[in-house]
Amino acid sequence: MQIYGCKKCRLWQGTKHAVPGEGPLNAKVMFVGQNPGADENEVGRPFIGRAGKFLSKTLAENGIKREDIFITNIVKHVSPKNRKPFDDEVKACLPYLITQIKTIKPEIIVLLGASAKETPRIEGIEYIQVIHPSAAMRFTKMGERFRQQIAELAKRIQQN
Ligand code: SF4
């Protein structure tokens, strides 16, 4: 995949692994975060750190198997000190996400946190915004709301 050798923006510099995303190519649900973090950079897999484990646990509690969803980020390399990706970095990387969306054709895209807002909107796909799991695991009220949001998502998936 082109992402592994990509140097279209500065973010690849100093990284160990690109993190393209993972999950079945026929997934009905896609999750999109902002960028990979330090844990993800170590192994090249998305959402495997504390926030990712919290997300997987909450999904499982609601009967959603993580292995059934495709999970990725807007940019595919970790950013220095986990800073927000710059606009030009997002712009450079978005074609990969657009290709992933068009290939997978999910029915639902779940945006993880407000920072995933740059995810392109494609007609016919339902977009659902949830609290980012890293905030949900740190703040009680956000955690409660996040659990509700994932429970609502689980119901929505069952309706499809
Ligand atoms: S963040 Fe995206 S555009 Fe930038 S180097 Fe990595 S894969 Fe390429």
In the chain, what are the domain boundaries? 2-159
Atom of ligand 1 nearest to the CA of 89: 4
Helix orientation angle between 140-159 and 50-61, rounded to the nearest 10 degrees: 50
Alpha-carbon distance 29 to 47, whole Å? 16
pLDDT-flagged residues of the chain (< 70): 1
**Cα 14 to ligand 1 centroid, rounded to whole Å:** 12
Assess contact for 75 and 90: CB atoms under 8 A. Answer: yes
Separation CA 81–CA 127 (nearest Å): 29
CA of 6 to the centre of ligand 1 (A): 6
Q: What is the pLDDT of residues 137-148, one digit of tens each?
A: 999 999 999 999
- Cα of 96 vs centre of ligand 1, distance in Å, is 9
Fold of 2-159: Uracil-DNA Glycosylase, subunit E (3.40.470)
CA quadruple 43, 45, 48, 49: dihedral, nearest 10: 50
Q: Which residue lies with its CA nearest to atom 4 of ligand 1?
A: 9
What pTM did the predictor assign? 0.95
- The answer to whether 1 touches 20, Cβ cutoff 8 Å, is yes
Q: What is the pLDDT of residue 159?
A: 84
> In the block, which residue shows the tokens 């896609």?
30
Q: Whose CA is nearest to atom 6 of ligand 1?
A: 77
Distances (CA, A) of 33 to 21, 93, 159: 10, 13, 24
Q: Which residues line ligand 1 (CB under 6 A)?
A: 3, 6-9, 11-12, 18, 75-77, 89, 92-93
Distance 89 CA to ligand 1 centre (A): 7
